[in-house]
Amino acid sequence: MKDKILAPELIERQYAYMARVREWNPEGLKAHILTFGCQQNEADSERIAGMAVKMGYTLTDTVEEADLIVINTCAVREHAELKALSITGNFKHLKKTKKSLVIAMCGCMVSQEHRKDRIKSSYPYVDFVFGTTRLYTFPEILFDCLISRQRKFYLDAGDEGNIPEGLPVVRMSRFKAWVSIMYGCNNFCTYCVVPYVRGRERSRHREEILKEIEALAKEGYREITLLGQNVNSYGKDLYEAYDFADLLSDICRIEGNYQLRFMTSHPKDASYKLIDVMAREEKIAKFFHLPLQSGSNRILKEMNRHYTREHYLELVRYMREKMPDISISTDIIVGFPGETEEDFADTLSLLREVQYDNIYSFLYSKRVGTKAAVMDCQIPDDVKGERFERLLQLQNEVNLSKNRAFVGKTMEILVEGQSKTDKNRLTGRSESNRLVHFEGDSTLIGKRVTVRITEGDLHALFGELI
């Protein structure tokens, strides 16, 4: 089988460009990196930050200080695209006062031809654009732009994708780490733009993944999340008989005080073997994000999801049989083209049946180039909105009753930081990914503590340290 690992010379070439940019630039320049969208984008931004630091930039959160701004965009819904475009628009004035400022855009949104063209014509202050499969060439493109002062647009339309190993990385957290195990998607769900902007499914070699996780465990990382659009098809492009469940088992042999998470799973590929490994391995968080999208078999078919509601429910049943305390979350799309009141009622009834620990619900958003965008019977916004409200209401009831049921129980929490609303409070997440607030000292950030839950509301739990 053929892998998509880029030849080491191609990466070395980029290291040479990193050195050239460093020489070319005056000292003391700063870079600001802005990330939209999913964890994969966050992981990509950590690579962009790694390359920027190697090129001599220090990272800044203050955009006004920046000499280089990189906007890493998302395309999964229109809302995310419009937000990135409007923020980019706000940067126009910065260039008036700082002529040397370089503005770059990358990620999923700009990997679409029509968006790239729009940026070319309507955002003249954006200096360069690079698509997701060109991420590793960031140093070369930046160098080109610095010496020529010409605008550059790098996309590989129709590119199948690649895997750049060995890029520098600056991780944004010292206790939570992302590890991409594969890139791209082959599923072509009819609503989704991801396969068009991130190329075909390709897996990293297991040795590379294990090496990265060993290093993270040694550095004391407490939570490691494996990333892929469809982690359950890990290895299909590389190995005859080595799958995601095997990879998880191998990772769990790596010593360290960390908890392992993964996302995202596709129900068509989630295997009983995977669930068995989860149940057996202590290091794996008992938490499963399993996007349903719709509870109607007819809509699932239209979405090209390749599973039925019955199959999905059977997976949930098996998970709960093996791990009675498991938390399950999901993604739901409301208002997919042709969704009838009856179809939507099927989604609600499945929600009632499963009693999810959390749901992420989205109004269907038309994506250029996808099959669903040109389907008949697009649902009017007011109908979508009204269904969305009903969905939220139902899930709110479930959340509230689940959160209240935790009162009096103790929980292990990974402390993530100070609460946004109250500086004396800390906030963390439980194994089941529940948000927990409690009073405590900031020295606890990055540690695991035990908390007794005293209160539960719609969105969070409150507790006290014990």
Distance set, CA 175 to CA 168, 257, 446 (Å): 18, 11, 6
Q: Hunting for tokens 């930046």 — which residue is that? A: 142
Q: Looking at beta carbons only, is 194 or 217 nearer to ligand 5AD?
A: 194
Binding residues among 166-185 for ligand SF4 as defined by CB under 6 A: 185
231 binds ligand SF4 (CB under 6 A): no
365 binds ligand 5AD (CB under 6 A): yes
362 binds ligand 5AD (CB under 6 A): yes
- Amino acid letter at 294? S
**Burial, 387: exposed, middle or buried (Cβ in 10 Å; 0-12, 13-18, 19+)?**
buried
Interface residue with ligand 5AD, options 143, 244, 364, 388 (CB under 6 A): 364
76 binds ligand 5AD (CB under 6 A): yes
Interface residue with ligand SF4, options 192, 247, 354, 453 (CB under 6 A): 192
Instruction: Quote the radius of gyration of the chain (alpha carbons, Å).
Output: 23
Size of the site for ligand 5AD (CB under 6 A): 12
CB of 457 to ligand 5AD, least distance (A): 25
The CA distance from 416 to 123, in Å, is 37
Interface residue with ligand SF4, options 137, 203, 230, 399 (CB under 6 A): 230
337 binds ligand SF4 (CB under 6 A): no
The CA distance from 23 to 177, in Å, is 31
The CA distance from 194 to 197, in Å, is 5
347 binds ligand SF4 (CB under 6 A): no
Q: Looking at beta carbons only, is 197 or 278 nearer to ligand 5AD?
A: 197
Q: Are 108 and 76 in contact (CB under 8 A)?
A: yes
Q: Are 194 and 229 in contact (CB under 8 A)?
A: yes
What is the residue-wise DSSP string for 122-191?
H-TT--EEE-GGGGGGHHHHHHHHHHH---EEE--TT----B--S-----S-SSEEEEE-EE------TT
Interface residue with ligand SF4, options 229, 233, 259, 430 (CB under 6 A): 229
Stretch that binds ligand 5AD, among 105-113, 361-369, 392-400, 456-464 (CB under 6 A): 361-369
HSE-up of 352 (CA within 13 Å, CB side)?
A: 9
406 binds ligand 5AD (CB under 6 A): no
The CA distance from 359 to 341, in Å, is 20
367 makes contact, choosing from ligand SF4, ligand 5AD, none, with CB < 5 to 8 Å by partner type, with ligand 5AD
Phi–psi pair at 196, nearest 5 degrees? -80, -25
Interface residue with ligand 5AD, options 4, 30, 77, 115 (CB under 6 A): 77
188 makes contact, choosing from ligand 5AD, ligand SF4, none, with CB < 5 to 8 Å by partner type, with ligand SF4
Which residues make up the interface to ligand 5AD (CB under 6 A)?
Answer: 76-77, 191-192, 291, 293, 331, 333, 362, 364-365, 367
Which residues make up the interface to ligand SF4 (CB under 6 A)?
Answer: 185, 187-189, 192, 194-195, 229-230, 266
